[in-house]
Amino acid sequence: MGEGADRVRAIEQAAVDLCLAPERPQARLQQLGDARIWSLYREMVRNRLRGELKIALKRAHQDAGEAAFERAFVHHLAEAPPRSRFFHGIVGDFARSAAPFLREQTDVPAHVGDLLEYEAAVWAVGDLDDRAPATELEEFSFEGRPVLSHATRLLQLQYPVHRKREGGAPYERGEVRLCVHRRPEDRRARTWTLNPITYDLLRCFEAGEATVTEAVQRTATARKVAIDQPFLDGLCTVLADFIERGVILGCRAP
């Protein structure tokens, strides 16, 4: 029984190594058996992964160019291969390694790393569980700990890649903060631009450790903003908006 299990594990590892290596490792082919069949299997696996990434990251693939995207793909499989148990998770796995890799490529437009992160977030949100948490939530209050929808991603980027370029004009560099969210009744994610205070506040909400009051105080202190009446009026408007949109689901008791 033990020898049989070890044999299966060895074959599984050999198959994984064969699919992920930049070149076909001859030793693995010999270990697995028929080199022709296993070479075909390798190409099928890599083409399936490559094809899914090009669908999910269509704009990033186009702006990076085929050659650079392929380099990022090869680097990803060799250095930081997929870890997700679910097929849709390969896009996020790829983005985590490919974004910094592409930012270092001198022949790739500077915005491509950000675009890849943004498209990966939109892809993930489109498939995330949008149901409310199983634990009972209370109405939103400043004394409770806010709960964000699972189908939400917050991004801080250097280029406004959520907007499509017109006529191929380059993006202007500048800090961009985004909220990507999908309502349960929607099939596609929506994106909103956030100011620095709102972004920091939602990040604090996302951590789930502070009450609304504590999160507001921490954010205002960090940003050196006075909590005066105009600030509170604006805050209440923003919070009401995100509650209506379903980004904020309610609160847990402190």
pLDDT in tens, 96-119: 999 999 999 999 999 999 999 999
**Structure-token match 């977030």, residue found:** 121
- Hey, what amino acid is at 137? L
List the chain domain ranges. 2-125, 145-252
- Measured between alpha carbons, how far is 119 from 99 in angstroms, rounded to an integer? 11
148: helix, strand or coil: strand
Res 21: pLDDT: 72
pLDDT in tens, 223-252: 999 999 999 999 999 999 999 999 999 998
**What is the helix (H) or strand (E) element at residue 84, kind and residue range?**
none
- The token pair at 11 is 């074959």
Query: Residues with Cβ < 8 Å from 184, sequence gap 6 or more?
Result: 130, 131, 151, 246
Domain boundaries 145-252, corresponding CATH code: 3.90.930.50
Stated pTM of the model: 0.87
Are 146 and 127 spatial neighbours (Cβ–Cβ below 8 Å)? no
Strand order in the sheet with 190-193: 152-157, 176-181, 190-193
